[in-house]
Structure 1
Amino acid sequence: MFIRGYLRASTQDQDANRARAALSEFAIAHGHKVATFYVENVSGAKLEREELNRLIDDSHEGDVLLIEQVDRLSRLQADDWDDLKARIKDKGINIVSLDLHTSHTALTNSDATDDFTKGMIKAINGMLLDMLAVVARKDYEDRRRRQAEGINTAKAKGVYRGRKTDEALHERIRMALEGGQSLRKTATVVGCALSTVQRVQKEMKAAF
């Protein structure tokens, strides 16, 4: 059984690798190990995610996509979630989430389970995945709404200054680029999104 761990955080201020140990320990407790990790800092509300796409492309039938929580995989709108599920299903990938106990059966000896029980577990697992994906999306929308309300209140009071630039991060990116590193390599070494490196590169070019 080939287990691929997926680690995601929404912003560069969050540590996408935070749950790596938890996933590794979970797999070991079930008699397996995580073969490889796919890590990225990108919103779960985006369908197009480079590392998630790479994980799906790399996978084969029967492989496991291991996540800490369903919201690490999806905060998507319903149509996008359906598209992602279809891709995962077409590849024959089993989703296992630490917060979804019915999914843990994918790590057990399925030969000891009859077809009826397998079908019931699969149906229940799919239903619960959908439910948790809906909850994750609602949580995302609620946070965005509260954030927008807070910004509007700050603007009305004349105290809104916008998001501060992480100057230390930008300086590390500039040093890597000036040292001849590629955009993708810089993103990996510095630990940020490729789009952030591209933005800094654009600023560097504009400065000349």
Structure 2
Amino acid sequence: MFIRGYLRASTQGQDANRARAALSEFAIAHGHKVATFYVENVSGAKLEREELNRLIDDSHEGDVLLIEQVDRLSRLQADDWDDLKARIKDKGINIVSLDLHTSHTALTKSDATDDFTKGMIKAINGMLLDMLAVVARKDYEDRRSRQAQGINTAKAKGVYKGRKRDEGLHERIRMALEGGQSLRKTATVVGCALSTVQRVQKEMKAAV
């Protein structure tokens, strides 16, 4: 059994490695060690994530996908969450989340409990995992709604200035493009939308 830690933050300005120590300590406390970490800065509302995809591709049956909280894995819409769960299930990967205690049994020896108890725990764990995924999605949608309300209020007052330009992100995009990376590859490596890369490329051409 390999334990693969998944660390995610939504934006480039956030520290995706923040929970690395917590995951390592948790694994050690349960008699295991995290074999490797997969780290990325990308929204949990996106189904296609490069490092998460790589983790799933690298995994074998019985491996563990270790996360700090369920919202690190998913803020997905219901259909996308079902798709992600299906991919994880097809590979035989066990999801273990620090905030979901029923999932911790995946780190215990398989003969520690009888088949009935293991079946019950698995069913309860699946139900709670789905519930936390729904809560994570609702939190995401609520924050987006509040943000939109704030923008509309600011516009009505004539004080809305739009989103502050991320100069650091734009510089990383420029460096990647100047290094010969394609638009899509740049978006993946930098961790931003393709439209952002296209906008920076347009600015670069205009400046020539």
> For residue 111 of structure 1, what is the aligned residue in structure 2?
111
* SS, match of residue 143 in structure 1: helix
CA-CA distance at 1:192 after TM superposition = 7.1
CA distance in structure 2 between the aligned counterparts of 1:182 and 1:4, rounded to whole angstroms: 30
Unaligned runs of 5+ in 2: none
CA contact (8 A) 2:50 2:188 kept: no
Task: Give the TM-score, by structure 2 length.
Answer: 0.88
CA distance in structure 1 between the aligned counterparts of 2:193 and 2:174, rounded to whole angstroms: 14
CA distance in structure 2 between the aligned counterparts of 1:192 and 1:46, rounded to whole angstroms: 11
* SS, match of residue 12 in structure 1: coil
Unaligned runs of 5+ in 1: none
Alignment: residue pair count: 208
CA distance in structure 2 between the aligned counterparts of 1:192 and 1:36, rounded to whole angstroms: 24
CA contact (8 A) 1:42 1:193 kept: no
Specify whether residues 16 and 192 from structure 1 end up closer, same or farther in structure 2 by C-alpha distance, changes over 3 A only. farther
CA-CA distance at 1:200 after TM superposition = 3.7
Specify whether residues 89 and 203 from structure 1 end up closer, same or farther in structure 2 by C-alpha distance, changes over 3 A only. same
CA-CA distance at 1:198 after TM superposition = 6.3
CA contact (8 A) 1:64 1:95 kept: yes
CA distance in structure 1 between the aligned counterparts of 2:189 and 2:79, rounded to whole angstroms: 34
> For residue 40 of structure 1, what is the aligned residue in structure 2?
40
What is the aligned-residue identity percentage?
A: 96
CA contact (8 A) 1:66 1:97 kept: yes
**1:8-47 correspondence runs (5 A):** 8-47=8-47
Task: Give the TM-score, by structure 1 length.
Answer: 0.88
CA-CA distance at 1:206 after TM superposition = 4.0
The CA RMSD measured in Å over matched residues stands at 2.5
Specify whether residues 117 and 43 from structure 1 end up closer, same or farther in structure 2 by C-alpha distance, changes over 3 A only. same
Residues 158-194 of structure 1 show CA distances to partners (whole Å, capped at 9, x for unaligned) of 1111111122343355356546788899889978788
* SS, match of residue 126 in structure 1: helix
Specify whether residues 54 and 134 from structure 1 end up closer, same or farther in structure 2 by C-alpha distance, changes over 3 A only. same
CA distance in structure 2 between the aligned counterparts of 1:10 and 1:25, rounded to whole angstroms: 23
CA contact (8 A) 1:41 1:193 kept: no
Specify whether residues 42 and 189 from structure 1 end up closer, same or farther in structure 2 by C-alpha distance, changes over 3 A only. closer
Which stretch shows the higher mean deviation, 104-113 or 88-97?
A: 104-113
> For residue 202 of structure 2, what is the aligned residue in structure 1?
202
Specify whether residues 198 and 108 from structure 1 end up closer, same or farther in structure 2 by C-alpha distance, changes over 3 A only. farther
CA contact (8 A) 1:7 1:20 kept: yes
